[in-house]
Every structure is written in C-alpha cells, then in structure tokens.
Amino acid sequence: MTALVLTRQSLHGVAELVLAGPQYRQSGTIRLRAVPGGSFATTKHPDVAVNGDLLLTSG
C-alpha cells in the first residue's frame, strides 16, 4: 500500500471512532463536515475536530 492509502485509511478510522462514535452517542448522528485546511469535524455535540495531527475539542 502507498503512504497516501495508509493515511486515508487511518484518517477514516479516526473519523469513525473518535469523532462519529461519540457524536452518535450524544446527538444521534454520524455526520461530519469538512473544515478549511483539509481538516474535518463533527456537526453536532460534542464539538471535536481533527486539524493536521491535532485532535481539538471545545472544552
């Protein structure tokens, strides 16, 4: 596998397990949104985002 494929699969795993899972438990949705700079974030509570190699939360 190429580095791009491995990176994409890793980010997909983070999106599913770290962002979408908690969001579903609290808000009943798994929708995520793209944010500037190639990052992604939840659309509902809890407010969590991935920015590069950082995991950002609202509190």
Which tokens go with 11?
């980010």
**Sign (positive/negative) of CA torsion 17, 24, 45, 41?**
positive
- Give 40's strand partners: 34, 50
Mean pLDDT over residues 15-31, rounded? 95
Reported as a pLDDT band with limits 50, 70 and 90, residue 35 is very high
Instruction: Look up residue 59 and give its DSSP letter.
Output: -
Length of the chain: 59
Q: What is the mean pLDDT of the chain?
A: 93
